[in-house]
Chains A and B, each alone.
Chain A
Amino acid sequence: MPADAIVQVRGVGKSYDGTVEALREVNLELPSERLSTLLGPSGCGKTTLLKIIAGLIPLTSGEVWVKGKKVEGPGPERAFVFQDFALLPWANVLRNVAFGLELRGLAWEERAKIARDYIGRVGLKGFEASYPHQLSGGMRQRVGLARALAVDADILLMDEPFSSVDEQTRRKFQEDLLALLQVERKTVIFVTHSIEEAAYLSDQIVLLSPRPGTVSRIIRPDIERGGRSPDEIRRDKNYLDVVDEIWQILKRYVD
């Protein structure tokens, strides 16, 4: 993969209370404007790694560099999409999507304009005044995605974003995400435990071993996506080979 690394993870280790070791010596390069997946069995520390890159969790050893700067905390070039959506229940869709901009002190008209634009792009036009409890899980995550896009970060960090939506919604969402990324040119780091999801979405798949989590393999699926329908991709030989290859590796971690 030619693109240069926008995120560099160097020798990162993380232990909780000095006893539970979640990550050990993780070294990773995540290429710019590509979608990388962190994949592994539950408890392998993939979410921990993502939150360390986000600057939400302090690391125990090593360092993370983003766009040539060492990570000391959250930054404007990174935006997060949460597994449980993390929407304000008392705020409508418009305010939730604009919330990142609200925190940055943008004037109301300005941030509403940007938020409306992204609400449209994630396919939620007409739901601006709805509250999260009135939306389905998939729609709530679209709000979370729009909020992350609205702050115009270079890097989207997505923590199992589709894990709490049903399979049909998940597929549609994956397709929409790929279509959206064609236009948006973002670097995406995506945590999932679904092999199919990783193979379908990723330019690069990072397989993590179980606790303590380390990089066990990096796979770069060479799936031709240009101009093909999602269903054609799902029948692609390379796609099926990647799914099988990952399964052969992960199988060893399942007892």
Chain B
Amino acid sequence: MESTQPLAQRSLVWQLISFALFFGLWELAGRWPVSLAFPPFSKTFLALVRITADGSLPKAYLSTLQPLLIGIALCGIAGIGFGIGMGLSRAIEWASLPLFIILQAAPMAAIIPLITYIYGIGLTAKVLAVVFLAAPVVVMNSYKGIRNTNPSLIQMCRCFLGTRRQEVIKIILPHAAALIFAGLRLGLAMGFIGVVIAELLITPTGIGDLITYHSSVADYPEMFATIASIIVIAALAIHGLERVERRLFPPEIRGS
């Protein structure tokens, strides 16, 4: 314990130094200036305080995070359910695996503008954009998690007279849980991309709209503050999920 404590402190110090260095370089680059449209860190930070205080940033987040959460929840329920179904049933696998392989490989962002033709520019369209980007990885991870079950454990279960139901509940699902959860985390990362693209391309609301608006009136510090904030929030959310994942499924007790 005595040796790990200073080590943790030292790593915190290094993290702070690296942040300071990054923001310092940003400040220098902004003052130099690299471009008139590139504000220094200090101005961006003040802009962040300003748009937070006047309520425009919180309001934009409300409008962006709502479809993101709805979309991820949909993927979490339907996507995981479908992936598990694909893993357990040869018929479902046969019928839908090619579709998901194509969806996973296709540049899904390209079809986001198409959503507008059918669903307009409301909440539905944004939720769909999230689902389109996040679903393939969520479904495929669940499917692979189920399929990768250690065959020896399944034989063991059958040998000790387990029913198919017990096999699924006591062996296959616990074995796949870690991969399924990882799929959800990757899905969230894709969901962030989906919702911001949707807001930039089709529905001028939320964070995407805030970026477009500040850019069009040349409020570059505000624009950069918005961009930086969504990057930070997405990174923190995904890092947070990764920590939860490591807590829930330490590598030693994982199935795979």
Check: B254 CB closer than 8 A to any chain A CB. Answer: yes
Check: A139 CB closer than 8 A to any chain B CB. Answer: no
* A89 and B162 within 8 A (CB): no
* A82 and B156 within 8 A (CB): yes
For the complex, give the distance between the alpha carbons of A76 and B161 in Å: 7
Q: Would A74 and B158 be within 8 Å (CB), given that A86-B152, A88-B174, A103-B170 are in contact?
A: yes
Within 8 A of A (CB), among B217-256: 252-255
What are the residues of chain B within 8 A of A74 when measuring CB–CB?
158-161
For the complex, give the distance between the alpha carbons of A88 and B254 in Å: 9
For the complex, give the distance between the alpha carbons of A82 and B155 in Å: 9
Q: Would A88 and B159 be within 8 Å (CB), given that A103-B166, A131-B253 are in contact?
A: no
What are the residues of chain A within 8 A of B153 when measuring CB–CB?
86, 88
Interface size class of A (residues with CB under 8 A): 20 to 34
* A56 and B160 within 8 A (CB): no
What are the residues of chain B within 8 A of A75 when measuring CB–CB?
161
Check: A7 CB closer than 8 A to any chain B CB. Answer: no
What are the residues of chain B within 8 A of A131 when measuring CB–CB?
252-253
Q: Would A82 and B161 be within 8 Å (CB), given that A103-B166, A103-B170 are in contact?
A: no
Residue in B157, B158, B254 whose CB lies within 8 Å of A89: B254
What are the residues of chain A within 8 A of B159 when measuring CB–CB?
54-56, 74, 78-80
Q: Would A89 and B166 be within 8 Å (CB), given that A54-B159, A76-B161, A151-B160 are in contact?
A: no
- B180 CB to nearest A CB, Å: 14
Q: Would A56 and B155 be within 8 Å (CB), given that A76-B161, A103-B166 are in contact?
A: yes
- B184 CB to nearest A CB, Å: 19
Smallest CB gap from A105: residue in B? B166
Smallest CB gap from B154: residue in A? A86
Residue in B152, B163, B166, B171 whose CB lies within 8 Å of A82: B152
10 additional contacts (CB under 8 A) given A80-B160, A90-B254, A131-B252: A51-B155, A74-B159, A78-B159, A88-B174, A90-B253, A99-B160, A100-B161, A102-B170, A103-B161, A133-B253
